[in-house]
Every structure is written in structure tokens, then in C-alpha cells.
Structure 1
Amino acid sequence: MLTAIRGLWVGSAALLLAGCAQFSPQQIQFQPSLEANSIPSGTGASVYVFAEDRRSSNQIGVRGGAYSDSSVISARGDLRADLQQLSEQVMERAGYQLVEMNADVELTFALEELTYQVTSIDAARKEATGAARFSVQAVADGAVYSNSFRAQRMIETLRYPSEEENAELMNYVFDAALERMYSDPGLESFLNQR
């Protein structure tokens, strides 16, 4: 009888500890992979490209568990610098001329939102949602074009999502929002009027 009680207590303690899972911080490496059809088609206009990260914090979200302070998800590296480099590459590959001064068009690409959230569906299932939003503003001869592009995705797991699942989720929404921005027909039309 004593052995059965002791086994029951050990099992209960294991369940309790599993329910209070503590996760270490995670840094996600963003490596955009754009489809060829997301690149606009340029006419040779000169552009000045500037990138901004307008988020108030580098924190993306919290992985979950009882100790949220220890399970923060953030981005690895400098996303503003990455966005600057990527935007320059995209515009150059599209056939626009990159210049520092006297550009036909001034372009600002901005990261506005990058978020992650986990909620419990029931005792076993979890739902993780990732979202990303970018904006673009183009200015030429007093005319202004602006637009915003958002992507969101949800995954369901039987436990808290793993680091690999989180990285895949966040890279998916990041890439999807970027592709929508770069392939925006309105932006392409505005640029090609110059």
C-alpha cells in the first residue's frame, strides 16, 4: 500500500513539473527566402532605399510555461540592417538604380510588427500564432504612395511548440509579409511612372 502511494505521489509530482514547464530564452534567426515572382519589374528609375525597424522592443513574444520571464523569444541580429540589405538587393535585381542623392524616388521600407503568442486550447493542446507586418512609403515629385502588408499563421500542437516549430512559424510569416510588400502592384506602378 505504501509503495502504491509513493508511486502515485511521484507520478503526480512529475505531472505538476510538466505543467510548470520552464523554457529558456530563444533567439530566432530570420533568413528571408523570396520567390522570384515577388521581385518587381523596374524601368531603370533611380531610387534611394531606407529601412526602419519601428518596433518598440526586440522581443517577439513568450514561448509559454509558468515562468514567462525566462521564455522570451527575440530576433537574432539586426533586423533593420537585414531589411536594408535585402531591400537594396531586391530593388537592384528588379532593374532600379540605387543612389544616395537626387533619386527619382525615395523608398522607406519598415518593419512594423513581429509578434508571437501561445494560448491553451485545453489541457494538452496549444495554439501558437505568429504575425509580421511591413510598410512601404514611396515619395517622388511631391507624390506619395504608401501601403502596409501583414501575414499571420497559426499552428496547433499537443504540447508547447518546439524551438524548430517556432522558428519555422515566424520565418513563414516574415517571408510572406515581405513578399507581399515587394510584389505590390501599386508600388511597382508608382515606381515605373518615374
Structure 2
Amino acid sequence: MKKASLILLGALALGGCALSPQEVDVTPKIAVEKPVEPLQGTVSVTVYDERLSRSLGHRGGVYSDTNDITTNDRLTLAIRSAVEMSLREMGLTVTESEDVPQFQVYLDDLEYKVPEGSYITQVDLKAKVRVRIIKDGQRFEGVYATEITERVPKAPSDEKNEELINQVLSDVLSRALADPKLTGFLKQA
């Protein structure tokens, strides 16, 4: 009897697990290189979530229709905070004034996908942002995208999902702020 119970527990553990919905706490960390000549000036940062839904996708598994993975309500605030900190590291002053150059970040896409079926072998993530800077009647716009594929031996834990989602967001924002055309536009007097 004891052996049969252990076999049943093992089969349940190895089978397609039911995964709960997850709300992710977004805390991107942007990697910027401090420029040889620090940028000068003042900007105001605004972030817009242009996605149609807070859902990034489904966690997969047996009940994939009921296990959405979503971002929390502080997504735009977290992105704004990370961008502001990076711009300060680059030498700029950040304010909330509308009378200074406007640095706008638009989150167009943030996706989380797993293969169809009950067994999860990898996670595919995508992020896409647009950055628009309006300065002295001139405008800069850049589009940046990042994709990550992570091979996994089993369905990722809540912590691993959060790490992967923050990684793809951090990567796309770092790519944007490393764009020489963007920094060149900010340097113009």
C-alpha cells in the first residue's frame, strides 16, 4: 500500500502540473555605460503602457487557459524609475516639468510563451519599446526589441518567471539607452 502511494505521488509530480496564475513584480535594472563626456541638460520622463492587456501570456501546463501571467499595476512606475536613474547616471537632471525636453518610453510588447502541451521545455520572451524624445521642436524616435529563449527542465517557479521577465525588460531598455543615435540627440544643444 505504501509503495503504491509513493508511485502515485511520483506520477502526479512528474505529470503535467497545474500552474497558478501569476502577477509579476517588475523591477528592471538598466545597464548603462557612463559616457566619457557626461550628458548635460534636463529631461522629463514619461512611460506609457501601450499593450492591449496586462497579460503576457500563459504559464502553460495542463490548465493553460486559467494560468495567465500578468504584470502588476506598478509597471510604468518601475520602468520610469529605472529610466530616470539611468539618465541621471549619464549626467542628465530629471524633473517633472513640461518646459524641458520630453523623454517618452512606450512599452509596445511584453510576451511570455511556452510550448503547447502539458510539459514545459522552454520559455520564449519578447519585449519591444519605442523611445521618443521631443526637444526644442525636434523629435527623435527609436524602436528597440529583445528576445530571450530559456531552456528549462520543468515549469519555471514564480521567482524564475519574475527573473526572466525583468531580464527581457532590462535588456530592451539597456539597448535603447545604449543607442548612439539617442545619446547623440540628447547631446545636441
Normalising to structure 1: TM-score of the pair?
0.80
Contact 2:121 2:154 in 1 (8 A): yes
Question: What does residue 130 of structure 2 align with?
Answer: 135
Give the 3-state SS of the residue equivalent to 1:166 in structure 2. Answer: helix
Q: Given that residues 126 and 146 in structure 2 are in contact (C-alpha distance below 8 angstroms), is that contact kept between their aligned partners in structure 1?
A: yes
1:148 CA drift (Å)? 1.3
4+ runs deviating over 3 angstroms: 10-20, 38-43, 122-125
Q: Deviations over 1:20-57 (max 9, x none)?
A: 42111112222222334177964322222211111111
Could you tell me which amino acid in structure 2 is paired with residue 160 of structure 1?
A
Aligned residues: CA RMSD: 2.9
Q: What are structure 1's unaligned runs of at least 5 residues?
A: none
Residue 167 (structure 2) aligns with: 172
- The answer to which of 79-88 and 16-25 deviates more is 16-25
1:48 is matched by which residue type in structure 2?
S
Q: Deviations over 1:147-185 (max 9, x none)?
A: 111111112223323323322222211111111111211
Note if contact 2:26-2:74 (Cα within 8 Å) is conserved in structure 1.
no
- Structure 2: gaps of 5 or more residues: none
- C-alpha change, 1:116 and 1:87, in structure 2 (3 Å) is same
- 2:82 maps to what in 1? 86
1:114 corresponds in structure 2 to 110
Q: CA, structure 1 residues 158+43, in 2 after alignment: closer, same or farther (shift >3 Å)?
A: closer
**TM score, norm. by length of structure 2:** 0.82
CA–CA distance in 1 between the matches of 2:119 and 2:21?
22
Structure 2 counterpart of 1:159: 154
Q: 2:59 is matched by which residue type in structure 1? A: R
Cα deviations across residues 59-101 of structure 1 (Å, max 9, x unaligned)?
1111112212331111234111112222222223322233403
How has the CA–CA distance of structure 1 residues 132 and 140 changed in structure 2, closer, same or farther, with 3 Å as cutoff?
A: same
Percent identical:
25
Change (3 A) 1:40 1:73: farther
Structure with greater Cα Rg:
1
Letter in 2 for 1:82: A
Q: In structure 2, do the counterparts of structure 1 residues 52 and 161 end up closer, same or farther at CA, with 3 Å as the change threshold? A: same
Are 2:32 and 1:52 aligned?
no
How many residues were matched structurally? 185
Contact 2:22-2:69 at 8 Å conserved across structures: yes
SS at match of 1:116: strand
